[in-house]
Amino acid sequence: MDNRVAGGLAITRALGDHAYKSFGVTGQPYVVRHVLRPFDKYLVIASDGVWDTVSDQQAIEMCKYNENTKQIAQAIVKLALEKGSTDNIACMVLEFNSNNIF
């Protein structure tokens, strides 16, 4: 499984799984700084139930071909379900320079 600790623990659970602490799972967050460019329009935040089945590129395509943040989030969730995700699925899309959040 991709993006898993020791083949089983989703990265998003690493902060709260006591059993994996002895295997080196740390509570230290992984932080990335990204300088926004003029053409950056959306931020997609989703659970591993999405990212285990939907690629970054597929999420980008959903942003390109849907009209608003609600439709983008719904399309990403639908794609994760169609691709067989069996985990909890959550998705939020933020649009920069807008008050639209879904």
**53 and 95 co-located in one domain:** yes
**7 and 27 co-located in one domain:** yes
Whole-number Cα distances in Å, 99 to 36, 37, 42, 94: 17, 19, 12, 8
**67 and 17 co-located in one domain:** no
**7 and 42 co-located in one domain:** no
**19 and 46 co-located in one domain:** no
Instruction: Give tens-digit pLDDT for 9-61.
Output: 666 665 566 777 777 666 666 688 888 888 889 999 998 899 999 999 999 99
**90 and 42 co-located in one domain:** yes
Asked if the model's pLDDT at residue 1 lies above 50, the reply is: no
**48 and 63 co-located in one domain:** yes
Whole-number Cα distances in Å, 50 to 18, 20, 74, 97: 24, 23, 11, 25
What is the model's pLDDT at position 89?
94
Q: How far apart are CA 15 and CA 98, in angstroms?
A: 32
Considering its fold, how many domains does the chain have in total?
A: 2
**48 and 97 co-located in one domain:** yes
**45 and 94 co-located in one domain:** yes
**63 and 97 co-located in one domain:** yes
Boundaries of domain holding 80: 34-102
Q: How far apart are CA 59 and CA 92, in angstroms?
A: 12
Instruction: Give tens-digit pLDDT for 59-73.
Output: 999 999 998 999 999
**12 and 61 co-located in one domain:** no
What is the model's pLDDT at position 48?
86
Q: How far apart are CA 96 and CA 101, in angstroms?
A: 9
What is the model's pLDDT at position 22?
73
